[in-house]
A = this chain, B = another copy of it.
Amino acid sequence: MEIIKGGVCAAKGFKANGIHCGIRRNKSKRDLSLIYSEKLCNAAAVYTTNLVKGAPLLVTKENIKNGKAQAVICNSGNANTCNANGVEIATKACEYLSNQLKIDKADVVVASTGVIGQPLDITPIKDGIPELVNGLGNDKSLEAAEGIMTTDTKLKEIAVRFEIGGKECKIGGIAKGSGMIHPNMATMLVFITTDCAISGEMLQKALSTDIASTFNMISIDGDTSTNDMVVVLANGLAENNEITRDGEDFNTFMKALNTVCVDLCRKITADGEGATKLLECKVTGAETLDIAKTVAKSVVCSSLTKAAMFGSDANWGRVLCAIGYSGAKVDVTKIDVCFKSNKGEVSVCKNGSGVDFSEEKAKEILLQDEIEILVNLNSGDYASIAWGCDLTYDYVKINGDYRT
Contacts and interface: CB of A to CB of B under 8 A. Distances in A.
A27 to B, nearest CB: 23
Give the top 4 A-B pairs by smallest Cβ distance, nearest first: A116-B317, A52-B324, A311-B400, A307-B399
Given A51-B332, A321-B225, A332-B51, A313 B403 contact: yes
Contacts of A403: 313, 315
Interface string A323-352: 111000110100000000000000001001
Contacts of A226: 317, 320-321, 324
7 contacts: A81-B320, A83-B354, A117-B317, A225-B321, A307-B399, A391-B396, A393-B393
Contacts of A49: 325
Number of copies: 2
A322 interface: yes
Interface in A330-384: 330, 332, 349, 352-354
Contacts of A223: 302-304, 318, 321-322, 325
A304 B83 CA distance: 20
Interface string A93-134: 000000000000000000000011111000000000000000
A119 B325 CA distance: 22
Given A50-B321, A224-B325, A303-B303, A396 B392 contact: yes
Interface centre among A222, A317, A353, A392 (most CB of B within 10 A): A317
Mostly, the A contact residues are: loop
A2 interface: no
Nearest to A119: B354
A307 B396 contact: yes
Contacts of A301: 222
A402 B308 CA distance: 8
A391 B84 CA distance: 30
A26 interface: no
Interface of A: 49-53, 79, 81-84, 115-119, 179-180, 182, 184, 221-226, 301-304, 307-308, 310-311, 313, 315-318, 320-325, 329-330, 332, 349, 352-354, 391-393, 395-404
A313 B18 CA distance: 30
B118 A354 contact: yes
B320 A52 contact: yes
Given A303-B303, A325-B184, A402 B315 contact: yes
Contact of A401 (B116, B221, B311, B400): B311
Contacts of A52: 320-321, 323-325, 332, 352
A400 B310 CA distance: 6
Nearest to A330: B51
Contact of A116 (B182, B310, B321): B321
